[in-house]
Chain A
Amino acid sequence: MSEDARVGVFVCHCGTNIGGCVDVPKVVEYAKTLPHVVFATSNLYTCAEDGLSSIRDSIKENNLNRVVVAACTPRTHAPLFQSTCEEAGLNKYLFTFVNIREQCSWVHMKEKDSATEKAKELIKMGVARVELLEPQEEVQIEVIPSAVVIGGGVAGMAAAISLADQGFPVRLVEREKELGGFVRNLGYIWQERREAVGALSSMIRRVKNHRNINLYLDSEVVAAEGFIGNYEIVIDTHGEQKKDKVGVIVVATGALEYIPEGLYGYEQYDNVITLTEFEILAKNKKLPKLSSLAFIQCVGSRGQDKSYCSRICCNVTLKNAMNLADNWKNMLGLEEAGKVVESIPVEKAIPAEIAERRRGRMGRRDREAGEKDEAEVAPTRLDIAVFNRDIMSYGIEHELTYNKTKEKKVRFIRYTPQNRPKVSHEGDKLVIDYWHDTMQMQMKMMVDMIVLATPLVAQPDAKEISRMLKVPLGQEGFFLEAHVKLRPVDFATDGIYVCGTCKGPADIPEAVAQGMAAASRAAIPLARGYVQPESLVAFVDSDVCSGCGTCIEICPYNAIRKNAEGVAEITVAACKGCGNCGASCPKNAIIMNHYTDNQILAEARAALQAVNG
């Protein structure tokens, strides 16, 4: 404390809320006896204009440099009294609130004497604290009004368009040569019953033509440093690196499909494919001619390998089953210029593009596309079965699709994780051995193709982005938002946002909605133009710090880093003032402003002194 403290104490009757229990005049008399207290009074309502002007006046008249108000709760009334102090020229941090209503008169209604004693001691504690408080500055830090969006799938594109429409320059960085992300694999999307590429094209066109969007294809963000409003990034396009400055970062890096290695004959039999591979074949009109196929749900998910439910696969299977039931002749290429081919040649081989795609995956053995066989049978219908643990067709539309699919005679067969279907082959056919629960017997089904519904899984290199931006990944490798319910598209670190399937399985409308949500969150600092960091932040005494790094490791906001001298330094704009670093610092080199060890101990000890003497 630089100058001598001159403390004023204002005790509120709060009508009878406090005064009816606590003996306020006695408390005021007691307050006058406390060290450094030069003025004490009571008010009927300290928060009414009368009370507030008594604070303002006595700050001036008595030359007060510290104020204590003993009244209700700081959670509702601190801002009011703080601004009253400011109006009288007193820094608002030289103020302490003592709660003698919620935490005294209201909870000790029948013990008036000891409630009065307690009120006295609480005020004594408040006075002990207020003496040690220091004025604090509130600073504003300018924000660079631009954004980078990492990932050009539907989520990233939605975020980029939304930010660009609001007038902010956006860099959209996509590592593939094309925009669109996973949706480029898809045949039809269920919402529109039209080809996915068509639905995407208008979005892609908007991105490409938007004057506020700078598109970086075939590019990645390889470095990022800084804090909200002031990030320095490096964009690498094919080895060529460009430095840039942005205010906010949106992560929209999407997800991949799970590869069901060793499950249900995948890679052993050509016609066992994943749902994504099925989509690609359907999109390219390269589905082999078949007369029967079965989907198997929850492959590799819900405890088989990954623990979670990928939530979209039931609906994707329903979409494809429905399309096949309605439209199979066209999908299998049997309708040529309106003429239905009567006899279907049965193919057993996977087409070249799937073989190519599988070869492209790292560490995968080469395989040749198989030979075609001549047709032996000429089926005139397509049998479709769906092996499932339970169909989760959530929402309004999907349950209706489910019901319709059943009308189309698609067979739904349940299995349990204890009793999964087994795949083998006999002649040209794949054989599914399964337990029929209703009939209570083991059955066999012969099919031409098996489609495995596998979950969306995290991008393997999400770890690198997580490390670069210092944002967390959850258990399954997806990005982890700040709060599942209340802050679903924020990272805990200010200025970085997340959307789309990189934070967990989602369908297109959800990914787009998240992209737009992330954009509107990211636009807040951009539109405001400055950030006002928490004024109560931690401070490192660099002479004492040994550079052990404990605080850096535990800071939940990545607000601490090692500076050039090898000691910890707090990024004021990022610090939230929780005090975790202060409690952890092995050298006691970190001071948590406004909640220093000294201030806390002085406040608490004041209560103990009363008992000892």
Chain B
Amino acid sequence: MSEFEPKIIIFLCNWCSYAGADLAGVSRYQYPTNARTVRVMCSTRVSPQIVLELLKDGADGVMVTGCHPGDCHYINGNYYTERRMEMAHRLLKLTGLESQRLRLDWVSASEGEKYAGVVTDFVKELKGLGPNPVHKDAKLASRLKAAVDASKNFRLKVLSSKEINLISKGNAYGEKINQQSVEGIMEQATEDEFKASLILQLTNKKSQSVKELAKELGEPTDRTIEHVVSLRSRNLLALDHIDGATPKYKAIVTGGA
């Protein structure tokens, strides 16, 4: 059998990184053939949901590239890209899939050599990691699905887009929040929303008890109870039946999406 060749999706912003990749070609910098590129106008277009979907669908690696900070064609789009990819990384860590499979890098229009280097390096790293096991690991698949769902979550989206402004401009009351506490808030929110999504995943087909859920989530039952209570109050989870003395919960599936 031939050597494992990772399948990589690379997003390139039109103004810097795509031009940088073109320059690599014009200068004939050689790099491995694994990259499949998708051009977007600005890196800011690439949401956590998109990159997580692709990892869920079996991409061995996903890389988002954009202009260097300060050089975005759309002024500050790439600052948001950076925040959002941080959130995607946080979610990825919670799934158990190696977070190195998602990369963010800045490539300017004059950095053809850098682009070739970045691709080469990513391919090397992914060869070390081996294939994305999602299609062979049902547990991982459902955790990645939960990460995708969480990335679409209202609260996380608001936080990951507005958070940058919370640090620099302050909130509506004029209070500025420091970098550290913003990160703390994000960390906690990401974990909560991921676990909530995972509970909905796990209870989607089959009802589960708090104890069973806690085991899947790898956390103490009292934390799981908090998630269950919160999901029930949001009308996303319902008591299905009582098995002996144990209540079993099931996700409420709305609409045919």
Give which listed residue, B14, B76, B116, contacts A107 with CB less than 8 A: B116
Give which listed residue, B30, B46, B77, B152, contacts A109 with CB less than 8 A: B30
Q: How far is the CB of B24 from chain A (nearest CB, A)?
A: 6
Q: Which B residue's beta carbon lies closest to that of A121?
A: B36
**Contact, CB under 8 Å: A107 / B45:** no
**Contact, CB under 8 Å: B45 / A595:** yes
State whether the Cβ of B53 lies closer than 8 Å to any Cβ in chain A: yes
Q: How far is the CB of B217 from chain A (nearest CB, A)?
A: 24
Chain B residue contacts of A579, Cβ below 8 A: 40-42, 44-45, 77
Knowing A125-B36, A607-B9 are in contact, say whether A102-B44 is a contact too (CB < 8 A): no
Bin chain B's interface residue count.
Answer: 35 or more
State whether the Cβ of B117 lies closer than 8 Å to any Cβ in chain A: no
Chain A residue contacts of B75, Cβ below 8 A: 482, 492, 556
> Which residues of B (1-57) have their CB < 8 Å from a CB of A?
5, 7, 9, 14, 18-19, 21-26, 28-31, 33, 35-42, 44-47, 49-50, 53-54, 57
Q: Which A residue's beta carbon lies closest to that of B36?
A: A607
**Contact, CB under 8 Å: B33 / A608:** no
**Contact, CB under 8 Å: B77 / A578:** yes
Give which listed residue, A75, A550, A556, contacts B76 with CB less than 8 A: A556
> Which residues of A (93-143) have their CB < 8 Å from a CB of B?
99, 101-104, 106-111, 114-115, 117-118, 121-122, 125
Knowing A579-B42, A580-B45 are in contact, say whether A548-B158 is a contact too (CB < 8 A): yes
Cα distance A413–B40 when bound, in Å? 58
Give which listed residue, A111, A122, A553, A556, contacts B162 with CB less than 8 A: A553
> Which residues of A (559-613) have their CB < 8 Å from a CB of B?
576-580, 582-588, 592, 595, 597, 600-601, 603-605, 607-608, 611-612
State whether the Cβ of A74 lies closer than 8 Å to any Cβ in chain B: yes
Q: How far is the CB of A541 from chain B (nearest CB, A)?
A: 15
State whether the Cβ of A378 lies closer than 8 Å to any Cβ in chain B: no
Chain B residue contacts of A121, Cβ below 8 A: 36
**Contact, CB under 8 Å: B161 / A108:** no
Q: How far is the CB of B87 from chain A (nearest CB, A)?
A: 11
Cα distance A601–B76 when bound, in Å? 24
**Contact, CB under 8 Å: A608 / B59:** yes
Chain A residue contacts of B232, Cβ below 8 A: none
Give which listed residue, A107, A111, A482, A586, contacts B24 with CB less than 8 A: A107
Knowing A102-B24, A608-B59, A612-B58 are in contact, say whether A115-B33 is a contact too (CB < 8 A): yes
Cα distance A588–B152 when bound, in Å? 8
Q: How far is the CB of B9 from chain A (nearest CB, A)?
A: 5
Chain B residue contacts of A608, Cβ below 8 A: 7, 9, 54, 57-59
Chain B residue contacts of A588, Cβ below 8 A: 152
Q: Which B residue's beta carbon lies closest to that of A117?
A: B33
Give which listed residue, A75, A111, A556, A612, contacts B74 with CB less than 8 A: A556
State whether the Cβ of A268 lies closer than 8 Å to any Cβ in chain B: no
**Contact, CB under 8 Å: A580 / B162:** no
Knowing A106-B28, A583-B47 are in contact, say whether A122-B19 is a contact too (CB < 8 A): no
Chain B residue contacts of A582, Cβ below 8 A: 45, 47
Residues of B participating in the A interface, judged by any CB pair closer than 8 Å = 5, 7, 9, 14, 18-19, 21-26, 28-31, 33, 35-42, 44-47, 49-50, 53-54, 57-59, 73-77, 80, 84, 116, 135, 152-155, 157-158, 160-162, 165
4 more A-B contacts (CB under 8 A) besides A108-B31, A600-B50?
Answer: A536-B41, A580-B80, A611-B58, A612-B135
